[in-house]
């Protein structure tokens, strides 16, 4: 009987995918298909949740099959991340789109990412204080005990991290290894390697122009092929979102979400305020924030449902270049650095909120100015450290709490609502990277403002 029900569930998912396919055949816009997949997935997931429950064999085995679509799509995106970063940045040099301002571009991108992370930390502190969040009130169940036991094993690793060590880790000792994504800092290492190849190309162009011309043609050809692969994968976005959000809705612990509702609400209030800050920054640069929202929404929706900034990178770059008018080099710098430095949601808001929640238990006044300023500084600097250990928000929180000499147990106590909050954090991380790209491009006079202000999304 269980097998029959699983087959029925799979058949329903396939039917919903067929509906999305028919929308594509009728030339329904990409953004509408994305939101259709999101809505259908939420409804289907909730139905599965209430019919079978989160722990049933039927739900588990159905989700395994759904993951072929959802996780398979994410893996396809991750497959193309490193080639896309490498060929796009080298291509920016061969097309003379990055050479004049590379130092200024790097400084602006990193500065905006870190600056917005500091603002995000301040907002997280304010939200935690406004909602009177108290870590003492959280209870520890079996899942929480297991999570904290696992975290305890990682504390020595986190405590031994230093900023100079993280900077050294950025430098590629084996670029071919980094092209496989083998290290947590592989993304930044590939950016550095590609930039060095680009600078070397400029030297060859001055002394041996015929060789440089051949190299440029090769890079342009490879770039065209890679971008075609990206386009083919991105066409699967509505189907991937449908499967991913179905899994989320079917397997979420709704009771735990209700019990920790205040923390969830406070988190999303902080995330929303920080997103508004992104809009205000765009307005300060005399750019229409509504155009940004409309054009970035499909990408932010995927980041929200998939909970992976790395998997979203191809969409992050394409949205910047095709829809927002950001130059290819800046889009790649902003997207790549945004994966590992200055993540507004994971490395900014989240650890700041947790620090405020546990401060009273450690005898620290979370409202004191010295505590708040120190916490903002630690969060901003600690956002570099996340790249060195991997694990996103969890390890960002461990770094901050360890440096501030605060108890780390609270990180494990929030495991039941972690996926729900992580969805919003990931979307904010991606928005922060795209905002950095747009602002940097505008500051260096490389933003195609006619593309940015064009009302319709360019689809490929």
Burial class for 297, CB neighbours closer than 10 Å (0-12, 13-18, 19+) = middle
Contact between 168 and 157 under an 8 Å Cβ cutoff? The reply is no
* Angstrom distance (rounded) from CA 287 to CA 266: 29
pLDDT score, position 136: 58
- Cα of first residue to Cα of last residue in the chain, in angstroms, is 44
pLDDT score, position 459: 52
What single DSSP character describes residue 457? P
Size of the chain, expressed as the number of residues it contains: 460
pTM for the full predicted model: 0.82
Per DSSP, helices labelled H in 160-260 are 163-170, 175-178, 186-207, 209-234, 237-251, 254-259
* Angstrom distance (rounded) from CA 2 to CA 8: 10
Give the pLDDT of the chain (460 residues) as one tens digit per residue.
789 999 999 999 999 999 999 999 998 988 889 889 999 999 999 999 989 988 889 999 999 999 999 999 988 988 888 888 888 888 878 876 655 677 788 899 999 999 999 999 999 999 999 998 886 555 554 444 554 455 455 555 555 555 576 677 778 888 888 888 777 678 778 888 988 998 899 889 889 989 999 999 999 899 889 888 988 898 898 999 999 999 988 988 777 677 678 889 999 999 999 999 999 999 999 999 999 999 999 999 989 988 888 888 888 999 999 999 998 888 888 888 888 788 899 999 999 999 999 898 888 899 999 999 999 999 998 887 565 454 567 778 888 888 888 887 777 667 777 788 889 999 999 999 999 999 999 999 889 999 998 876 545 4
Q: Quick one: which of 28, 376, 364, 338 has its CA closest to 187? A: 338
Token digits for 290?
């509504």
All residues at 6 or more sequence positions from 166 whose CB lies less than 8 Å from its CB, including other chains: 185, 384, 385, 387, 388
All residues at 6 or more sequence positions from 59 whose CB lies less than 8 Å from its CB, including other chains: 48, 49, 52, 53, 250, 251
Give me the sign of the Cα torsion angle 274, 275, 279, 282: positive
Q: List, for residues 340-357, the tens digit of each pLDDT value.
A: 788 899 999 999 999 999
pLDDT score, position 390: 46
* Angstrom distance (rounded) from CA 444 to CA 457: 24
- Angle (CA) 298-301-302 rounded to 5° is 90
* Angstrom distance (rounded) from CA 378 to CA 165: 16
Give me the sign of the Cα torsion angle 182, 184, 185, 190: positive
Q: Look up tokens 């991108």; give the residue.
A: 109
Other residues' Cβ atoms within 10 Å of the Cβ of residue 14: 12
pLDDT score, position 202: 86
Burial class for 371, CB neighbours closer than 10 Å (0-12, 13-18, 19+) = middle
Q: DSSP string spanning 123-150?
A: HHHHHHHHTT--GGG----HHHHHHHHH
All residues at 6 or more sequence positions from 4 whose CB lies less than 8 Å from its CB, including other chains: none
């Amino acid at each position: 009987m269980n097998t029959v029900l699983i087959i029925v569930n799979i058949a329903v998912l396939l039917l919903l995918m067929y509906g999305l396919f028919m929308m594509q055949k009728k030339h329904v816009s990409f953004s509408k298909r994305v939101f259709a997949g999101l809505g259908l997935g939420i409804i289907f997931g909730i139905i599965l949740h209430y019919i079978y429950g989160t722990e049933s064999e039927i739900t588990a085995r159905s989700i395994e099959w759904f993951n072929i679509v959802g996780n398979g799509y994410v893996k396809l995106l991750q497959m193309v991340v490193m080639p896309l970063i490498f060929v796009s940045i080298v291509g920016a040099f061969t097309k003379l789109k990055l050479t004049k301002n590379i130092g200024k571009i790097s400084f602006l991108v990193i500065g905006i990412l870190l600056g917005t992370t500091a603002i995000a930390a301040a907002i997280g502190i304010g939200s935690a204080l406004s909602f009177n969040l108290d870590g003492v009130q959280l209870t520890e169940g079996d899942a929480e005990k297991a999570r904290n036991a696992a975290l305890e094993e990682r504390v020595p690793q986190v405590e031994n991290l230093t900023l100079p060590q993280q900077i050294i880790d950025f430098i590629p000792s084996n670029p071919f290894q980094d092209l496989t994504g083998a290290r947590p800092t592989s993304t930044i290492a590939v950016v550095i390697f590609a930039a060095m190849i680009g600078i070397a190309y400029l030297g060859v162009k001055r002394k041996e122009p015929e060789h440089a011309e051949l190299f440029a043609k090769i890079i342009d050809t490879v770039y065209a092929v890679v971008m075609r692969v990206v386009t083919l994968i991105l066409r699967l976005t509505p189907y991937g979102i449908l499967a991913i959000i179905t899994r989320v809705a079917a397997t979420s612990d709704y009771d735990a979400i209700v019990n920790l509702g205040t923390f969830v609400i406070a988190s999303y209030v902080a995330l929303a305020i920080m997103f508004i800050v992104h809009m205000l920054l765009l307005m300060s640069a005399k750019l229409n924030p509504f155009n940004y929202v409309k054009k970035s929404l499909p990408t932010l929706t995927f980041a929200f449902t998939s909970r992976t900034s790395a998997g979203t990178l191809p969409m992050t770059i394409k949205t910047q270049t095709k829809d927002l008018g950001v130059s290819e080099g800046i889009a790649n710098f902003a997207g790549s650095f945004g994966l590992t430095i200055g993540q507004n949601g994971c490395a900014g808001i989240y650890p700041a909120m947790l620090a405020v929640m546990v401060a009273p238990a450690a005898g620290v006044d979370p409202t004191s100015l010295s505590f708040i300023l120190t916490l903002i500084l630690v969060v901003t600097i600690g956002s570099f450290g996340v790249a060195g250990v991997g694990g996103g928000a969890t390890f960002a929180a461990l770094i901050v709490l360890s440096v501030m000499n605060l108890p780390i147990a609270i990180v494990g106590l929030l495991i039941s609502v972690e996926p729900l909050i992580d969805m919003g954090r990931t979307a904010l991380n991606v928005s922060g990277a795209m905002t950095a790209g747009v602002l940097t491009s505008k500051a260096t006079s490389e933003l195609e403002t006619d593309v940015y202000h064009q009302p319709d999304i360019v689809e490929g």
